Amino acid sequence: MCWRKSPTTSRQSCTPQNTIDISYLNLKGLMQLDPSTNIKIERASFTIPADANPDAFDFFAVYAQAVNTQPQVAANELRVQSAEVGVDLARAGYFPTLSIFGGLSTNWSDAAKQFNLLNLGTVRESQTFYVDLGQGETELNVEYDAPNFKEEFLDYPYFNQIRDNFGQNIGAAISIPIYSNGQNQINVQRAQVNILNAKLQSDQTKQQLKNDVQQAIASAKNARQTLDASQKSIDATKVAYENAEKRFQLGTINNLQLLTARNNYDIAQTNLTVAKYDYLFRLKILDFYLGKTIKLD
């Protein structure tokens, strides 16, 4: 057993303090804080709305509002629309395809050379012809000036190669699907199955939302009943404790009976606090499905 010294008593049980310390450690773990971090719990001030009445909530009204506010419902509706567009895209495979293409190209090589003919002027040359005029062949010498060229290979500049080797092309092609191994039909059927899956997922989400709304309304009603019962319990235990105090002062009951009445009153106060927070929490869940801003009123 654990004991803690107190200014008024020599020994006092520290079990409640241990429970508080462990609760703080668990809270730090949930918040992913270092165990040595100092935190302090502040009591939140709140009031339960006076006009709050879970019995007044209509399931169909809450569900209709939840369908319009819950993001998972909207996401599934968009998935259905996307699947429907996918069918149109798959059917596009049945239509001919026209392709237009074009390109530009050039090249360069450091081994390329540029051929050039160097004009060196003219040179005197002669050529012999044999002419037969019916009296035998006659030799005829003809002299003329022939051009004199010299072949040479020069370096081919980079930009000159880019310019001289520049090319372009343009064209068009048309593809007409005839059978395509049945792939187009398979794609359309697969897209139609995707629509069914998306709709099924949407229906399942809406059905789950119906269950959640029904459970939220039922939980709010139950929390309200628990709060009313806790209030009646605290009223009864308070009267019982006050009577026990009077009887203890008159000496008709002992100290144990007085402590028992006090403990019952403390437990009733604790249950009332828990019931208030639980009831407020259930009301906020309904506010969430109704699309209202979550805040402590």
The CA distance from 56 to 224, in Å, is 12
Contact 171, 119 (CB under 8 A): no
One-letter amino acid of 293: T
Dihedral-angle region of residue 165 (phi above 0 means left; psi in -120 to 50 means alpha; beta otherwise): alpha
Residue 263 CA: distances (Å) to CA of 15, 139, 289: 16, 152, 39
Structural tokens at position 233: 């319990």
> Each residue of 182-199: pLDDT tens digit?
888 899 999 999 999 999
Are the C-beta atoms of residues 248 and 258 closer than 8 Å to each other? yes
Q: Cα–Cα distance between 39 and 214 in angstroms, integer? A: 38
Which residue in this structure is represented by tokens 């709060």?
A: 227
User: SS3 of 295, please?
Assistant: coil
pLDDT score recorded for residue 297: 58
Can you give the pLDDT at residue 14? 56
Please report the pLDDT score of residue 120 as a whole number.
67
Residue 121 parent element (H or E): strand 113-132
pTM comes to: 0.63
CA distance 24 to 18: 10
Task: Give the DSSP letter of residue 165.
Answer: T
Show the domains of the chain with their CATH numbers.
Answer: 1-41 (no CATH), 44-93+182-289 (1.20.1600.10), 103-175 (no CATH)
Closest CA to 161 of 112, 116, 105: 112
pLDDT of residue 296: 66
Q: Which residues contact 104 (CB under 8 A, 6 or more apart)?
A: 166, 167, 168
**180 DSSP assignment:** G
How far, rounded to the nearest angstrom, does the alpha carbon of residue 275 sit from its chain's CA centroid?
A: 37
Residues ≥6 apart with Cβ < 8 Å to 84: 195
N residues, the chain? 297
Are 214 and 59 contacting, i.e. CB atoms less than 8 angstroms apart? yes
Which CA distances in Å does 136 have to 128, 132, 133, 141, 273?
16, 6, 7, 16, 146
Res 177: pLDDT: 84
Low-confidence ranges of the chain (pLDDT < 70): 1-14, 120, 133-135, 296-297
How far is residue 252's CA from residue 256's CA, in Å, rounded to a whole number?
Answer: 12
